[in-house]
A and B are shown apart, each in its own frame.
Chain A
Amino acid sequence: MADLKTKERMQIPRHDMPEQEPHERAANFEEVNLGYSIEIAMEEAERCIRCKNPVCVDGCPVSVKIPEFIKMIADGKFDEAAEILKTDNALPAVCGRVCPQEEQCEAVCVLAKKGKPVAIGYLERFAADWQRNHSNLKHVHVQEKTGKKVAIVGGGPAGLSCAGDLIQMGHDVTVFEALHEIGGVLVYGIPEFRLPKEIVRAEVDALHELGVEFVTNYVIGLTETIEELQARFDAIFIGVGAGLPYFLNVPGEHLNGVYSSNEFLTRVNLMKAYDFPNNVTPIYDLKDKNVAVFGGGNTAMDAVRTSKRMGAKRAMICYRRTEKEMPARVEEIKHAKEEGIEFMLLVAPLELVGDDNGVLRAIKLQQMELGEPDSSGRRRPVPIKDAIEEIPVDAVVIAIGNGSNPIISQTTPELIVNKWGNILVDESNMKTNMKGIFAGGDIVTGGATVILAMGAGRTASKAIDEYLKNPETW
Chain B
Amino acid sequence: MNKILEAKFIGPDIKLFKIDAPKIALKQKAGQFIILRIAENGERIPLTIADSDKTEGWITLIVQGIGATTKALNQLEAGDFVRDLVGPLGQASHIENFGTAVSIGGGVGTAIAYPTAKALKEAGNKVISIIGGRSKQHVILENELAATSDEVYPCTDDGSYGFHGFVTQKLQQLIDSGEKIDFVLAIGPIPMMSAVAEVTRPHGIKTVVSLNPVMVDGTGMCGGCRAYVDGKQVFVCVDGPEFDAHLVDFKILQQRNRTYGIQEQAALEAHMCNIDVVYNEELKNKKIAESI
Residues of A within 8 A of B (CB): 178-180, 216-219, 222-224, 243-245, 247, 253-254, 256-257, 259-260, 262-263, 266-267, 271-272, 276-285, 357-358, 405-407
Q: How far is the CA of A51 from the CA of B255 in the complex (A)?
A: 63
**Chain B's nearest CB lies how many Å from the CB of A229?**
12
B256:A254 contact, CB within 8 angstroms:
yes
In the bound assembly, the distance between CA atoms of A284 and B216 in angstroms comes to 14
11 A–B contact pairs at CB < 8 A?
A219-B87, A222-B27, A247-B223, A247-B226, A271-B44, A277-B266, A280-B267, A281-B44, A282-B260, A282-B263, A357-B255
Which are the 3 A-B pairs with shortest beta-carbon distances?
A282-B263, A358-B255, A243-B221
Q: CB within 8 A of A178: which of B219, B228, B255, B262?
A: B219
- Closest chain A residue to B269, Cβ basis: A277
Is B275 part of the binding interface, using a Cβ–Cβ cutoff of 8 Å?
yes
| Residue in A closest to B40 when the chains form the complex, CB atoms | A279
Known contacts A179-B217, A180-B83, A247-B223; can you find 7 more A-B pairs with CB under 8 A?
A: A218-B23, A219-B86, A223-B87, A277-B68, A277-B270, A279-B43, A280-B68
Complex CA distance for A254 and B223, rounded to whole angstroms: 10
What are the residues of chain B within 8 A of A219 when measuring CB–CB? 86-87, 89, 219
0/1 per residue, B214-242, Cβ < 8 Å to A? 00110111111010100001000010000
A306 to chain B, nearest CB (A): 15
Most buried by A among B23, B87, B223, B267: B223
Tell me the smallest distance from the CB of A153 to a CB of chain B, in Å. 13
User: Is A280 in contact with B42, judged by CB distance below 8 angstroms?
Assistant: yes
A245 lies within 8 A of B223 (CB): yes
Q: Is B105 an interface residue (CB 8 A)?
A: no
B217 x A407 contact (CB < 8 A): no
> Contact at B256–A222, with CB atoms within 8 Å?
no
Nearest Cβ distance between residue B207 and chain A, in whole angstroms? 22
B41 close to chain A: CB less than 8 A: yes
Contact flag A244-B24 (CB < 8 Å), given A256-B259, A280-B42: no
A303 to chain B minimum Cβ distance, whole angstroms, is: 13
For B43, give its contact among A222, A223, A253, A280 (CB under 8 Å): A280
Contact A358 B216 (CB under 8 A): no
Q: Which residues of A sit under 8 angstroms from B86, Cβ to Cβ? A: 178, 180, 217-219, 223
- B233 A247 Cβ-Cβ under 8 A: yes
Contact B275 A407 (CB under 8 A): no
> Which residues in chain B, 1-56, are within 8 Å of chain A measured between CB atoms?
23-24, 27, 37, 41-44
Indicate whether B244 reaches chain A with its CB closer than 8 angstroms.
no
> Closest B-chain residue to A256, C-beta based?
B259
Which one of B23, B68, B252, B275 contacts A224 once the chains associate, using CB atoms below 8 Å?
Answer: B23
Contacts of A245 in B (CB 8 A): 221-223
Whether A282 contacts B267 by the Cβ 8 Å rule is: yes
Q: Quote the shortest CB–CB distance from A435 to chain B (angstroms).
A: 24
Chain A interface mostly: loop
Separation in Å of the B261 CB from the closest CB of chain A?
10
Which residues on A sit within 8 Å (CB–CB) of B136?
Answer: none
B49 to chain A minimum Cβ distance, whole angstroms, is 12
State the CA gap A407–B264 with chains docked (Å). 31
- Which B residues lie within 8 Å of A260 (CB)? 222-224
Q: Tell me if B85 counts as interface (CB < 8 A to partner A).
A: yes
Q: Contacts of B216 on A, CB cut-off 8 Å?
A: 263, 266-267, 271, 281
| Known contacts A245-B223, A262-B221; is-contact A180 B84 (Cβ 8 Å) | yes
B residues lining the A interface (CB < 8 Å): 23-24, 27, 37, 41-44, 68-69, 83-89, 216-217, 219-224, 226, 228, 233, 238, 249, 251-252, 255-256, 258-260, 262-264, 266-267, 270-271, 275
Given A263-B224, A271-B43, A285-B263, is A256 in contact with B256 using a C-beta cutoff of 8 Å?
yes
Contacting A277 at CB < 8 Å: which of B23, B85, B263? B263
**Is the pair B222, A276 in contact by a Cβ cutoff of 8 Å?**
no
Contacts of A259 in B (CB 8 A): 224
CA distance A244 to B222 in the complex (A): 7
* Chain B residues within 8 Å of A216, by CB: 84
Chain B residues whose C-beta falls within 8 Å of the C-beta of A281 in the assembled complex: 43-44, 216
A218 to B89, CA, bound (A): 10
Q: How far is the CA of A247 from the CA of B251 in the complex (A)?
A: 20
With A223-B23, A276-B263, A279-B41 known to touch, is A244 a contact of B220 (CB < 8 Å)?
Answer: yes
**A219-B89, A267-B216 given as contacts; is B271 within 8 A of A285 (CB)?**
no
Distance between B285 CB and nearest chain A CB, rounded to angstroms: 18
Contact A253/B233 with A219-B219, A244-B221 known, Cβ cut-off 8 Å = yes
Min C-beta distance of A253 to chain B, whole Å: 7
Q: Which residue of chain B has the shortest Cβ distance to A217 in the bound complex?
A: B86
Q: Is the CB of B255 within 8 A of A223?
A: no
Give Cα A267–Cα B263 distance, bound, in whole angstroms. 14
Determine the chain B residues whose CB is within 8 A of the CB of A280 once the complex forms.
41-43, 68-69, 267, 271, 275
Q: Which residues from chain B contact A222 at a C-beta distance below 8 Å?
A: 27, 87-89
Contacts of B69 in A (CB 8 A): 280
> How far in angstroms is the closest Cβ of chain A from B77?
21
- Evaluate whether A254 and B43 lie within 8 angstroms (CB atoms) in the complex, with A263-B224, A271-B216, A282-B260 already known: no
Q: Which residues of A contact B249 (CB under 8 A)?
A: 254
Complex Cα–Cα for A163 and B68 (A): 38
Residues from chain B with a CB closer than 8 A to the CB of A272 are 41
Bound together, the chains give a CA A358 to CA B228 distance in angstroms of 14
| Assembly CA distance A368 to B228 (angstroms) | 30
- Residue in A closest to B67 when the chains form the complex, CB atoms: A280
**Which partner residue on chain A sits nearest B35 by CB separation?**
A217
Q: Which B residue sits closest to A224, measured CB to CB? A: B23
CA distance A283 to B220 in the complex (A): 19
CB neighbours of A406 from chain B (8 A): 220, 238
| CA–CA, A405 and B235, complex, Å | 12
- The contact of A285 among B89, B221, B262, by CB within 8 Å, is B262
User: Which residues of chain B come closer than 8 Å to A285, judged between CB atoms?
Assistant: 262-263
